[in-house]
Amino acid sequence: MKILVAVKRVIDYNVQIRVKEDGSGVHTENVKMSTNPPDDNAVEESVKLKESGKVKEVVAISIGEDKVQETIRKALAIGADKGIHVKAESYIEPLGIAKILKKIVEKEKPDMVFLGKQAIDDDCNQTGQMLAAMLNWPQATFTSKVNLKDKSVEIIREIDEGLETIEVNLPAVVSCDLRLNEPRFASLPNIMKAKKKPIEQLNAKDLGLDLTNRIQQIKVEEPPKRKAGIKVANVAELVSKLKNEAKVL
């Protein structure tokens, strides 16, 4: 079996983002970038399946400017076999990303596509589901456990009410939740080895797809700030404030 795993380069989850004063977006210059956290889980699970012998090949793909190759290299250092970089100079919406991934799926013919359930920058939570729909494949979203069988995969998903178990036929799209596994750190020898692994390069605009963005970003602004609160000295004061000042008890 073969897995295509999609990774996105985003502002690191620990960075406090800053909104640009002209309302055009957020500052990305000199900001630490990393792999989108649930994409790390997607890579980890793909590599674990390879290590279990059930999967033969793991291909990591990222779409964007040249710097996304760092994100691909990281996946290669974890254990992916080869990389695909689809070059795109500007932002592409999830709909366009899904179209690009579909093209690559048709070429690479994986049995499963793994990706994170959501990117922590645009918080859209769309790409995996859209890709599955375009391919007429089943999907497993919010995945926290994977049990791969011969022709299907049994999945435990995290839903609002608790946990749900489903079984989807292969090929399938699996979008990963943060509790699926504990992503490992790449070892130095593996980082060195990853430098020798191949990364195939393509250009998004050569794929013959309509990638026009349909959503116009009018402005980006800071959310309203909460006014500063106070520290209370003890529990009695806290309860008194909640009762008499905030009137919530």
Partner 1 sequence: MSVLLIAEHDNKKLKPFTLNAITAASKIDSEVHVLVAGTNCENVTKEAASVPQVKKVLWCDSPNYQNYLPENLAPLVTKTAEKYDHVVASANTFGKNFMPRVAAALDISQVSDIIKVSSPDTFVRPIYAGNAFATVKSNDKKKCITIRPTSFEPAEKTGGSAQVEKIEAADIPNISKFIKREETKSERPELGTARVVVSGGRGLESGENFKLITDIADKLNAAVGASRAAVDAGYISNDHQVGQTGKVVVPDLYIAVGISGAIQHLAGMKESKIIVAINKDGEAPIFSVADYGLEADLFKALPEFLAELNKLNTIQK
> Which positions from 195 through 224 interact with partner 1, judged by CB under 8 A?
213-223
Which residue, 40 or 72, is less far from partner 1 as judged by CB? 40
Can you tell me whether residue 21 is helix, strand or coil?
coil
What single-letter DSSP state applies at residue 228? P
Joined tokens for residue 222: 């800071």
Question: Out of 89, 133, 198, 201, which residue is the one contacting partner 1 (CB under 8 A)?
Answer: 133
Which residue, 64 or 83, is less far from partner 1 as judged by CB? 64
Q: How far is the CB of 83 from partner 1 (least distance, A)?
A: 25
Q: What are the φ/ψ torsions at residue 162 (nearest 5 degrees)?
A: 150, -120
Q: Does 126 bind partner 1 (CB under 8 A)?
A: yes
What single-letter DSSP state applies at residue 26? B
Which residue, 51 or 167, is less far from partner 1 as judged by CB? 167
Q: Is the peptide bond before 171 cis (omega within 30 degrees of 0)?
A: yes
Count the site residues for partner 1 by CB under 8 A: 81
Q: Does 22 bind partner 1 (CB under 8 A)?
A: no
Q: 161-200: which residues touch partner 1 (CB under 8 A)?
A: 161-169, 177-179
Q: Does 21 bind partner 1 (CB under 8 A)?
A: no
Q: How far is the CB of 50 from partner 1 (least distance, A)?
A: 24
Q: 81-120: which residues touch partner 1 (CB under 8 A)?
A: 93-95, 98, 117-118, 120
Residues contacting 210, CB < 8 A, separation 6+: 99
Angle at 234 between CA 230 and CA 239, to 5 degrees: 80
Cβ(155)–Cβ(139) below 8 Å = no
Q: Does 24 bind partner 1 (CB under 8 A)?
A: no
Q: Does 141 bind partner 1 (CB under 8 A)?
A: yes
Q: Does 158 bind partner 1 (CB under 8 A)?
A: yes
Joined tokens for residue 105: 């799926």
Cα(23)–Cα(190) distance, rounded to whole angstroms?
42
Q: Does 136 bind partner 1 (CB under 8 A)?
A: yes
- Tell me the CB-side half-sphere exposure of residue 233, using CA atoms within 13 A: 1
Which residue, 10 or 75, is less far from partner 1 as judged by CB? 10
Angle at 163 between CA 161 and CA 167, to 5 degrees: 130
Question: Out of 132, 146, 174, 186, which residue is the one contacting partner 1 (CB under 8 A)?
Answer: 132
Which residue, 80 or 172, is less far from partner 1 as judged by CB? 172
- Which amino acid, one-letter code, is at 98? A
